[in-house]
Amino acid sequence: MLIFPQTILAIPPEKQAEIFLQKGLIKLADDNNEKEALNYFNQAIKLNPNYAEAYYQRGQIYTQYFLGENRKPEQLHTGCFYVDNVTVCRLDLHNNWRGKNLDKAQQDLDKALELKPNYGPVYYQKALIFEKQNDHQNAINFFRAASELYIQEGIKYLEMNQHKQAGDFLEYSYRSYKEITHIQEKYKTPSGSSAQSPERQKSPEQLCKEAAQLIKIPDYLAALEKYRQAARLFEQRDNQKRYQETKKIIQVLEQL
Per-residue confidence in pLDDT tens, the chain, 256 aa: 444 455 555 789 999 999 999 999 999 988 888 899 999 999 999 999 999 999 999 999 999 888 875 444 344 444 444 444 444 443 343 455 577 889 999 999 999 999 999 999 999 999 999 999 999 999 999 999 999 999 999 999 999 999 999 999 999 999 999 999 999 988 774 433 344 433 457 899 999 999 999 999 999 999 999 999 999 999 999 999 999 999 999 999 999 9
Domain ranges within the chain, ordered by starting residue? 147-185+203-256
Task: Please tell me the distance from the alpha carbon of residue 244 to that of residue 48, in angstroms, as a whole number.
Answer: 39
DSSP secondary-structure letter at 188? S
Query: What pLDDT, on the 0 to 100 scale, is given for residue 9?
Result: 58
SS3 content of the chain, % helix, strand, coil (to 5): 75, 5, 25
Written as one letter, the residue type at 232 is: R
What is the distance, to the nearest Å, from the Cα of residue 100 to the centroid of all Cα atoms in its chain? Answer: 22
Query: What pLDDT, on the 0 to 100 scale, is given for residue 99?
Result: 78
Query: What pLDDT, on the 0 to 100 scale, is given for residue 96?
Result: 56
Query: What pLDDT, on the 0 to 100 scale, is given for residue 83?
Result: 40
Calculate the alpha carbon distances from 7 to 11, 16, 17, 19, 39 in Å.
7, 11, 14, 13, 21
Beta bridge partners of 83: 86
Query: Do the Cβ atoms of 243 and 231 come closer than 8 Å?
Result: yes
